[in-house]
């Protein structure tokens, strides 16, 4: 799956935050809800225009974003 098929960023929609295409549902909101224990089924019920594939695309987007981030260890 290519997350780019499901996620877009447009400065005229939600100030350019990545959202699920065709909606105003931000990727960070999906990730936050999943992180807080909501299930895919609950999200699909809450956001009927969102598909299961789009929710998985949000996870792939997050994975790719973190994978390419440089993290520097702090001296303890």
Tens-place pLDDT, residues 4-41: 999 999 999 999 999 999 999 999 999 999 999 999 99
* Residue 59, in any domain of the structure: yes
Residue 13 lies in a domain: yes
Number of domain units in the chain: 1
Write out pLDDT tens, residues 41-71: 999 999 999 999 999 999 999 999 998 777 7
Rounded-to-integer distance, Cα 6 and Cα 53, Å: 8
How many CA atoms lie within 13 Å of 76's alpha carbon, on the beta-carbon side? 1
> How many CA atoms are closer than 13 Å to the CA of 50, on its beta-carbon side?
24
Q: What angle do CA 35, 60, 37 make, to 5 degrees?
A: 15
- The reported pTM is 0.87
- Give me the chain's average pLDDT, please: 94
CATH of the domain at 51: 1.10.10.10
Residue 75 lies in a domain: no
**The CA-based dihedral angle spanning residues 24, 30, 31, 33, taken in that order and rounded to the nearest 10 degrees:** 140
Does 73 map to a domain? Answer: no
Which structural domain range is residue 53 located in? 3-67
């Amino acid at each position: 799956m290519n997350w780019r098929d499901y996620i877009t960023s447009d400065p005229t929609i939600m100030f350019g935050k990545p959202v699920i295409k065709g909606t105003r549902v931000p990727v960070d909101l999906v990730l936050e809800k999943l992180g807080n224990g909501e299930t895919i089924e609950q999200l699909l019920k809450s956001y009927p225009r969102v598909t299961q594939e789009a929710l998985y695309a949000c996870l792939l987007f997050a994975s790719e974003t973190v994978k390419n981030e440089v993290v520097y260890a702090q001296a303890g």
